[in-house]
Amino acid sequence: MKKSAMKVAMLAMFSMAVASGPFLLSKAYAAGSDTPSPPASDSGATKGKKKAGKTSSIEDPKFLAAYRTAYSTIYDHGDYATAIDQLKALHREDVADVANLIGYSYRKLGNYPASKQYYEQALADDPNHVRTWQYYGLWQLEQGNREQAQYHLDKVAQLAGTDSKEYRSLSAALEQQPGTGLVY
């Protein structure tokens, strides 16, 4: 009886590991935080200031709650179209984290032109936004631009170091064989 119980327990653990494998792999490339970082400050006239017509601050509890809802919609539910609507409803595409998640969601939906637009918006808002460099590097890989992905990896190393999760994620993706059709 003990042997059969052990076999059933081992089979159950193995089944759970196999079933969660694709989920775990899909999460490996989804770095980030459910709390947005403040916009980068700059000596320019418009950088670091609230843009005209913007009514929410990233410290505003309502903004944070809505941002976290969109974040969960992406990473917990994989509902990218809904997340895009939620993020755009914030009216804060001037926040790099918001623009980056919109870009990420468009990339996951296969809309590469829109994704590129939002990644570039995020980098215009914050040129040192590590997650955008990472995700844009993954975008570059999906487009077959390995040299550009390497450039993005080097930028992540410069900003966050080679031990950062963003660096490890993009580096692991670059190690994959070209043309395998992997989507990150």
User: Residue 61: which residues within 8 A CB-CB, separation 6 or more?
Assistant: none
Quote the DSSP letter at residue 164.
Answer: S
Handedness of CA 155, 31, 68, 64 (dihedral sign): negative
Angstrom distance (rounded) from CA 65 to CA 77:
17
Total number of domains constituting the chain? 2
Q: State residue 59's pLDDT score.
A: 84
Angstrom distance (rounded) from CA 6 to CA 1:
9
Expressed as residue numbers, the domain containing 96 is: 54-111
> What is the pTM (predicted TM-score) of this model?
0.72
Q: Whole-angstrom distance between the N-terminal and C-terminal Cα of the chain?
A: 45
- Name the 3-class secondary structure at 66: helix
Tokens of 7: 């076999």
How many degrees, rounded to 5, is the angle at CA 38 between CA 40 and CA 119? 65
- Return the closest-CA partner of residue 44 out of 93, 90, 94, 100: 94
> For residue range 167-184, what is the model confidence (pLDDT) as tens digits?
999 999 999 887 665 555
Which of 65, 84, 111 represents a domain boundary (last residue)? 111
Angstrom distance (rounded) from CA 135 to CA 177:
18
User: In this predicted model, which residue has the larger pLDDT, 58 or 23?
Assistant: 58
Is position 168 within any domain?
A: yes
Is position 89 within any domain?
A: yes
Q: State residue 58's pLDDT score.
A: 77
Is position 136 within any domain?
A: yes
Contact predicate 36/67, CB 8 Å: yes
Is position 44 within any domain?
A: no
Same domain, residue pair 64 and 96:
yes
Contact predicate 40/48, CB 8 Å: yes
The amino acid that residue 30 corresponds to is: A
- Return the closest-CA partner of residue 149 out of 124, 122, 125, 167: 167
Tokens of 174: 């670059």
Is position 163 within any domain?
A: yes
27 φ/ψ angles, rounded to the nearest 5 degrees: -80, -20
**pLDDT band per the 50, 70, 90 thresholds, residue 79:** very high
Q: State residue 46's pLDDT score.
A: 38
Q: What is the mean pLDDT of the chain?
A: 79
